[in-house]
Amino acid sequence: MGKYRCPGCEYTYDEALGDDHEGYPPGTTFESLPEDFTCPDCAVRYKEDFEPLED
């Protein structure tokens, strides 16, 4: 399970945790998030802008 970070505001999507508030249960892969996903915190960055984080 990986982590992906918004390069603008540093919101981090952790696949192992998902995002409860947004309705993505733990284990939801970043790949399977909707194509029109924008950063839940800043909404400035699109899905393809997110950067995978090294563990």
Partner 1 sequence: MLTTYTNEVTVMSTTYALQDSERGYIEYTDKKRHLWMSSLALPLFPVLGIALYFAFDSQWMLVIPLLFNYLVIPFLDYALGADENNPPEEIVPQLEQDTYYRVLTWLTVPMHFIVLIAIAWFVGTQDLTLWSVIVLALTAGSYSGLGINTAHELGHKKPELERFLAKIVLAVPAYGHFCIEHNRGHHRDVATPEDPASSRMGESIYKFVLREIPGAARRGWEVEKERLARLGKSEWSVHNDILQSYAISAVLQGGLIIAFGWIMIPFLAIHNFFAWFQLTSANYIEHYGLLRQKEANGRYERCQPHHSWNANYIFSNILLFHLERHSDHHANPTRRYQSLRNFDDIPQLPNGYYGMYILAYIPWLWYRVMDKRVLALPHINGDLSKVNVDPDKRDEIFARFGEGKQAALV
Residues that bind partner 1 (CB under 8 A): 8-9, 11, 21-24, 38, 40-46
**Minimum separation from the CB atom of position 53 to partner 1 (A):** 18
Residue-level length of the chain: 55
**Minimum separation from the CB atom of position 43 to partner 1 (A):** 4
- Pairwise CA distance, residues 35 & 22, whole Å: 15
Which string of DSSP letters, residue by residue, matches 25-55?
-TT--STTS-TT-B-TTTS-SBGGG-EEEP-
For partner 1, give the closer residue by CB, 43 or 53.
Answer: 43
For partner 1, give the closer residue by CB, 21 or 31.
Answer: 21
